Amino acid sequence: MPQTRTLHPLKVLVLGGYGNFGTRIVKALANDPGIQMVIGGRKQARAKALAREAGAHAEAMVVDATDAHLATKLKAANIGLVIHTAGPFQAQGYAVAEACADAGAHYIDLADGRRFVCDFPAAMQARFIAAQRCAVSGASTVPALSSAVVDHLTQGWQAIHSIDVCIAPAQTAPRGVATLEAVLSYCGVPVDIWREGRWQQALGWTNPAQVVFPRMKPRRAALCDIPDLELFPAHYQVTETVMFRAALEVPLSQTAFAGLAALRHWGLLPRPQALAPWLLRGAPLFDRWGSALGGMSVEVTGLDAMGQPAQARWDIAADNDHGPEIPCIAAILLARRLARGDGPAPGAHTATGLLALDEFAPEFARWGMVTDIA
């Protein structure tokens, strides 16, 4: 449902605005004439420095996601939209979203935590309906981009039998500690997956499989726990399997994560995410064996419009360490929509199916990313 077009620029606060993903979103939106950019975080100096770099229309705001008075501060600052990038989301509640609803602001996050995203609509729907604002969780690579790809590949199909997604980051791409903590949080933990037409369990960062890419060398990929594993079986009525894997570029790194998963499973490493700062510092030691090229693949099987067996695949390759731009694009697109007054309907949503793949194309082109469909 289109929303009433505003006469003034939408005041957008990026929470975690000087972080790995927040900085990218700020720079993408700062020069949009329909947006007044606010960079939020606990460190005023860093927020102000980015505001100066982003342009004259950007400003800094000292704000803490855990502040009990966050709603009051958002309302006093006349914030119209909060983009929440301050992960990891696996251990968070919905306090920021609640504050947005109470302040009469829209909300978007980049969450990839399974429970956080999957439980979001039921938990937040009443608040945002009452506020007549929209809230979107998972406006990132998953499930926003992944669902856009599936929708594109299976348009007109009668049935979907399987969906297989793999993310393959570049070794030298910039990383954030929050992202690494999120990945480590499900190492060795039982993960519910829809496989062979029923729910089964497998351990995170196990179930390795070789994945071949059109523009990258083959990589070994392992199971990750993300919202798609739970959202897609019902949303697409998948009859057989939904799988999501990540493939690190350096084989030794992939083996190390598998080892951490084993230690967690055996009870020898209760909280592998605590190692995130140390692993982040050590990661550049492996850069000599990696590259600046990363990517993603989505493969689907099913029955086409004529009821015939069908298979389709989409790949993207991002060179020059531009891969981390991909998780930011969905939030950027949705923010621009809201600034134009045509955002999602009031209420709480996951990002599944909210964007079309064609909407991503200009951003892919901007960063020199190449896509293939087979």
pLDDT by residue (tens digit) across 194-236? Answer: 999 999 999 999 888 999 999 999 999 999 999 999 999 999 9
Average pLDDT over residues 254-267: 92
pLDDT for residue 282? 87
CATH number for the domain running over 153-323: 3.30.360.10
Q: What is the pLDDT of residues 263-304, one digit of tens each?
A: 999 999 999 888 989 888 888 888 999 999 999 999 999 999
Q: How far is CA 278 from each of CA 85, 169, 227, 290, rounded to the nearest angstrom? A: 22, 19, 27, 19
Neighbours of 267 (CB within 10 A): 8
Q: What's the rounded Cα separation, in Å, for the pair 370 and 30?
A: 25
Mean predicted lDDT score pLDDT of the chain: 93
Q: What is the pLDDT of residues 52-75, one digit of tens each?
A: 888 767 899 999 988 999 999 999
Q: What is the pTM of this model?
A: 0.94
Q: What's the rounded Cα separation, in Å, for the pair 333 and 130?
A: 25
- Domain extents for the chain? 10-141+324-373, 153-323
Fold of 10-141+324-373: Rossmann fold (3.40.50)
Of 28, 38, 27, 119, the C-alpha closest to 362 is 28
For the chain, helix (H) and strand (E) counts, in that order, are 13, 16
Residue 359 — pLDDT band, cuts 50, 70, 90?
very high
